[in-house]
Each structure stands twice: as C-alpha cells, then as structure tokens.
Structure 1
Amino acid sequence: MADSIRQRLLQMLEEHTDTYVSGQMISESLNVSRTAIWKHVAELRKNGYEVEAIQKKGYRIVTRPNSLSKEEISLKLDTTFIGSEIHAYPSVETTQFIAHNLAHEGIQDGAIVVADEQTAGKGRLGRSWHSPKGSGIWTSIILRPKLPPQRAPQFTLIAAVSVVQAIRKQTGLEAEIKWPNDILINGKKIVGILTELQAEADQIKSVIIGMGINVNAAKEDFPSDLTTATSLKIESGEDVNRAALLASILNELEVLYTEYMENGFRMIKLLWESYAISLGRKIKARTLNGVIEGLAKGITEEGVLLLESDDGEVHHIYSADIEIC
C-alpha cells in the first residue's frame, strides 16, 4: 500500500515539474494525511530524490536519481502488461536465475526482474558478462506466448529490434544488430541478449529474455582485456537515464510482441534486417562443425541466418559466433 501511494505521489510531482504541488492537493488526491505525505517525501529523499518543500507552496522534485527503482521505471512505462510487475534488486548473482524461479512459480506474463548490479552475470554459451554496480541495465523479461518451442529463437530477434529502436530514440546513437544477439555501436558491443526457454514437448511455458546493457560505464570501468565493449555514455559523451531507457525498451517490446503474436514474424524480420550490420557483407561463422565463410544474405522466418559461400551454396546457420571480414 505504501509503495502504491509513493508511486502516485511521484506521478503527481512528475506531472508538475515546473511548479509546486500543494500539500492539500496531494492529500485530497491520494486520500492521505499531511503527516503521511511528509513521511513519503522523507522516504523519497532517502532513495536519492531531491524534493523541495516550501511552506504555502508545496512540493517539487528538483533532481531525481539515475536509478532502476520500480517507481522510476513505472513512471515512464506506456504498456499494458510488460513491466506491470517489477522485481527490482540492488544486487543479484544473475537476473536470469531469479526470473527462472519466478517463472516456475507461475508469475504473470510480462513480469520483469532488474538489478543495479550482477555478481555472476552470464552471456551466450555460458560466457561471463561484466555487470558493475550503478552503470548498466541488467534485466530479465518473462513472456508466456502460447506457441510451440521451435518459435522461441525469434524472441531474441524481437528483443534486439526493441533495444535498437529504444537506444536510437533515447540517445540518437546508430545502434546496429550483429546476429544473433549483440547490439553494436561503432563496431563495439553495447548490449548482449540471452534468451532461455522453459517448455514442454509442444508448448512454451515461458521465454525468459535476459539483457545486459552498458549504459553509463566509463572506459576505466571495463576490464583492461575487454577491448570490444563500449557504453552509451562513452559513445554519446552524456549520462543516460537508465529507467527511461529500460521503459522505452519495454514499450517497444510490447508493441513488437503484440505484432508478432497477431500477424507473425514478417514485419519484425524486415525491421531486424534493416538494422543488421552484417547483411550484404562477408562474414565468418564459427560453428560447432567448423568455420563457414561467405556473404550474409538475410534471415529466415525462423530467425536462421542465411550465409552464401563462394561456391554459391546457401548455408543455414542456427548457432555460431560471427566475425565480420
């Protein structure tokens, strides 16, 4: 109940950033006492908000934290179900682990897990993912599409398009997609996406989309041997509001997810190909069966990469590390 009142109080202050909101107006709108308002303002201040209070004028937010709190994310959401339930943590081993447990327990479609820090973040093929405190977005989104398991790989591509569109809208940076799960800016990795599945033989129970996004990390925040990564702050020269970016990603994801469920993969495929850095270029695909070199032609309706080798044969690449020649 207290969280709900605090959320509504924040919403009121957010809607009146250029003026003061009187205590009487807050009291009448939220049906709480002046004393309760003061306690909620004190709690906001403890959480990093600078709230100005002037007698006979009211309250006004001066500055807000660049945090991934439930309140900050919810304020910027424009969705009907994705993000309707938010589990936010200061530090976890991995958000994927928590999301898997919540999915097993029957959590609702569209719930998300987000953390300010991961101590054991992981990427594709079990690789570690650098997830320092306060600098990025480490999140897992739980979806429950009524689809067969073979459709699950498409969700990595849907998520990639969502992230690219949100980054471009929020920062103006030309983010691009490297198949299957990386987002690059100026050739360096800024986002990794890990999609995992809980399923029965013929039915998806849950798709869990994990995202690691380097937002406000400085160059010195990365390990010295990690030369292929960058952050939005490094590329733009400015701090990026993490909650606003995450909310924008969730907004984009809900639109694309709904489109996919109603009309299939065609529109998402076209969008994905328009953002893909490797299409039309020579690449090397390092698969479990060896290296295949050729021209990246596109993706199938299932999200499989099409690679045409020099002899004209078109190879279907289901899983590989890609190197652009």
Structure 2
Amino acid sequence: MLHRTIFGAMTSAFVALAMTGAAVSAELRYAHVGAEGDIQTIYAAEAAKGIAAATSGGVTVTVYPASQLGGVAEMVDGVRMGSIQMGHHDFASLARLVPEVAVFNAPFIYQDGEHALKATDPATSPALQAINEKLVAQGVRIIGRIYRGDRQISSNFPVKSPADLAGKPFRAVPLELWVSMVKGFGAIPTPVEVAELPTALMTGVVVGQENPLTMIASNNLNEVQSHIAMTGHMRAVLAVFVNEEIWQDLTGEQRTAITKVLDDEARKSLKMAQEGEAKLVEQLKGRGMTIITEADGLDRAAFREKVGTQIARDFPNFTPLIEQIQAVK
C-alpha cells in the first residue's frame, strides 16, 4: 500500500506490502478567503464531505476558510508550490501564472448562470482546456468551479451610472482585470483584501465595492454601506484548483470521483445562488439598504458600454477568447 500524507510544505511517503496491491491515500489542505455563510464556503465544506465519501476515505480534505492560510496571492503561491494542495478563487487570481485565464471573470460575457457553468467546465470547455494546459506547466490545474451569483455594486450613496462613481476611490480586487473594470466604472481603483474590506469602507478608504449579495450579507456590509446597485456586471464564477503534482499522485479513479463531486457541487451552487438572490434582496432591505434596479433608473447599458470599452483597451487578447466563450451552447 502506498500511503501519502500531505501537510504544510512537507510531503512524505512510505511503502508497505499488502496482498491487495497498491492504493493511495491523501490528506489535502483546501484554502479559500470566503466568510461563513457565503456560497463558496458552503461549497468547500460540502465538497470535502463528498470527496471523502466518494473515495471511501482515501482522500480527505481539510478546509481553511476566511484567509486562514493567507490572502489570495499566498493561497495561489501555496497551491503552486504544494504547501497548500487545493484552493478556490476568481479565475483571475491565477493570471500571474497564465494571464489569459482572467478572461473567465470578464464582465458581461455570460448569458446566464447555466451558460457560465458550461463555459467554465474543465471537461468540456475548449477555451478552458487550452488555458489549463498552460496552467499545468506552472504546476496548477483547474478541476472545478463554483457559481456565487451575480456581482453587484454597493456604496454609501446612490449609484445609477458610471458618472456617479467618477473620481471616487472604489475597492478593486487586487487583480488586473478588476482594476480595469473599476476604471470602466469611472472610479479610482483601490486594491483592498477582502479581510480588510469592512474597515476600509467604514473609514472611507473606499466608498464602495462590488460582490455577490451572499458576500455582502455574510460580511454584514450593510453596516458600512447604504445602497446596492443591481448591475449584475459579473456572473461570479470561481475556479477550483489543485497542485498538479499532488493531482497526479492520486489514482485515476480518485481523480474521476473528485471531479464528479466538484461538478455536482457546482450545480448545487448555481441553484443556491439563483434561489437565494430574491431572498437576499429582501433581507438586505430589511437591514436598511436601498436596492437600485433599472426600474429605479439604473443605467446598466452605460456600465456595459464603458466597462466593455475599458476591458477591450486593456486586454485586447481577450477578444477571441470572449467570442469562443460566448459561442458555448
């Protein structure tokens, strides 16, 4: 029996004879930055349970949420080096390894949530498969995805068009794609890690941010923000990724079982996001937030136009990839 235990930055193995032949067991550390109650946090916890069951305990997963193992950059580096075996975050978090992977987080490119899941399926998406080959060469492989819901703008004043954000400091996820998008909003991109976001909003370092409603609610941003503009500028899909060496150490049967669990959980996350949005709108209204929709004068077309122009200017190589993604049926 081949037994591999993985923890921290150390990997050890030993071989013992068994009449039944070779089997592999692994303990994986899974890191992410999501807070309690967020869809991504529920996904990771359920995936860990499902993987253990699907592999008959051969692969066990310990989840470290809420940036316990560091921020986004530390998590990506940890997975690449193998000190962290699994993680998830926006596709663009891997852009330091392969820049074009950020295209899967580009604003306004998916028709709906179902289309977003199809276009980011590692088993069937041509665009993702091509990019995954480049990621594997860097030691990381995307093996799943999570649907968190549409990303909306929150602020401490009404926002109905990019003109309302002109010249104002607005939180950007510390990734180039988000910086470009926030420029398209008309605002001044100000990188802030998610763990520091409530304080940055409270102190005025930034006057607004954008995230799915699940994150806004679970992080109690209603305590430091008064308005939500339902821009739906991004279908928030996160990449689930693994250290490639660790992945290849598993058996083919284990890899197949894990990817099936992750795919099943992805579909559950989509359903959860779709069913939860209407409830979250009412919940956040109950907490005192004002919700702004197109019926209230929100100009989504202006956001789409200005953000699209900015992304095309900053990422001209995205254009053929976006066309390929939009062609997915």
Greater Rg by CA: 1
- Greater helix share, structure number: 2
Q: Normalising by structure 2, what TM-score?
A: 0.28
Q: Normalising by structure 1, what TM-score?
A: 0.28
Structure with the greater relative contact order (CA < 8 A, sep ≥ 6): 1 or 2? 2
